[in-house]
Amino acid sequence: MIELEGVPELIDPVMVAAFEGWNDAGDAASTAVAHLEREWKGEVFAALDAEDYYDFQVNRPTVFMEGGVRKITWPTTRLSVVRVGGDKPRDLVLVRGIEPSMRWRSFCNELLGFAHELGVELVVILGALLGDTPHTRPVPVSGVTSDGDLARRMNLEETKYEGPTGIVGVLQEACTHAGVPAVSLWAAVPHYVSQPPNPKATLALLNRLEDLLDLRLPQGELPEDARAWQTGVDQLAAEDSEVAEYVQTLEEARDTAELPEASGEAIAREFERYLRRRDVGGPGGHATADGSDGGPYRRDAPSGRTRPPKPPKPEAPGAAEGDEPEGSED
């Protein structure tokens, strides 16, 4: 039994989770939850015992100084609560951590224990994968669920994915088996510029979450950061003719595949988001589209831009936006 102290009674709570690691290309998903914590000044009310789930040789603790005293921060998963104001207040339970090294079923059960005690009505898990998508176009974000009724009600895809999965997929299925409605939102990050950060993908995830929950989420400096990121990648791509040619191929494939999306639902979603913002005030490797490992997971990337690697010439122009990513069985 999980006993929570100091947490007020929540209003229509939704749990939003993201985990660093294989399911977090470009750090897009974990940065999205960290952004909400920072903008809303969320206070941590619970943390999972790091000893139970993490290999400290894989995810090492860090030492820091506080008031002249040396302290250690252990890698773990933490929970905080923020309240979204407006005409219809709602609470978000934010879960941010690292993909566990072991005991995944116990890890998911513990998170579901918190969800049950807090009365969580919906779990939304954010993820990001490497894909054949051009950095010059809007970031594709797919919403998937294992619940057919939920898919129809919230205009989501009912996943049919089979293959390797990460903690996002495992938690998604744990929610389904526990009878907790759960959705996964996946952003596609260009594989040729995969190093973090990727503020454009983070912003796309937050916009999709905003549409899903019909809430106004604070964007802060993300729009400006996203524009600066794209400008920087444009400049780097222009320096290499092979990369520029490859990006053009991806653009043509994407534009052809999305011609029907140029009107209708896409325009309606953008208009609804505009109205919401105008009227409401308020404050390792990675998964890839085919479920394979996207290569070495580079943490602590230097702040300076690096040249994107020359991509291999693909046999096909790239996966369509509707294709299921790793973990999309979630």
**DSSP assignment string, 253-289:** HHHHHTGGGGSTHHHHHHHHHHHHHHH-------BBT
pLDDT for 300 equals 36
With residue 66 as reference, give the H or E element that holds it.
strand 62-66
pLDDT for 155 equals 87
Superfamily of domain 13-223: PAC-like subunit (3.40.50.10900)
Please give the average per-residue pLDDT across 215-237, as a whole number: 93
Please give the average per-residue pLDDT across 135-151, as a whole number: 92
Assess whether the previous peptide bond of 218 is cis (omega < 30° from 0): no
Q: Report the residue count for the chain.
A: 330
Q: What DSSP character marks residue 24?
A: B
What pTM value is reported for the model? 0.79
| Residue 78, strand partner residues | 47, 96
**DSSP assignment string, 75-142:** P--EEEEEEE-SSS-EEEEEEEEE--SS-HHHHHHHHHHHHHHHT--EEEEEEEEEES--TTSPPPEE
Per-residue pLDDT reduced to its tens digit, 65-74 = 999 999 999 9
Per-residue pLDDT reduced to its tens digit, 230-272 = 999 999 898 988 889 999 889 888 888 765 555 455 555 555 6
**Mean of the per-residue pLDDT values of the chain:** 83
Please, which residues have CB within 8 angstroms of residue 109's CB and are 6 or more apart in sequence? 174
Cα atoms in the Cβ-side hemisphere of radius 13 Å centred on 140: 27
Residue 93 to residue 43: CA distance in whole angstroms: 10
The mean-pLDDT minimum among 87-91, 228-232, 289-293, 301-305 falls in 301-305
Tokens matching residue 286: 């990675």
pLDDT for 130 equals 94
Please, which residues have CB within 8 angstroms of residue 114's CB and are 6 or more apart in sequence? 2, 4, 15, 46, 79, 93, 120
pLDDT for 170 equals 96
Highest mean pLDDT among 65-69, 102-106, 212-216, 306-310: 102-106
Give the three-class secondary structure for 224. Answer: helix
pLDDT above 80 for 182: yes
pLDDT for 28 equals 97
Residue 329 to residue 182: CA distance in whole angstroms: 11
Per-residue pLDDT reduced to its tens digit, 47-65 = 999 999 999 999 999 999 9
The residue assigned the tokens 């208009």 is 271
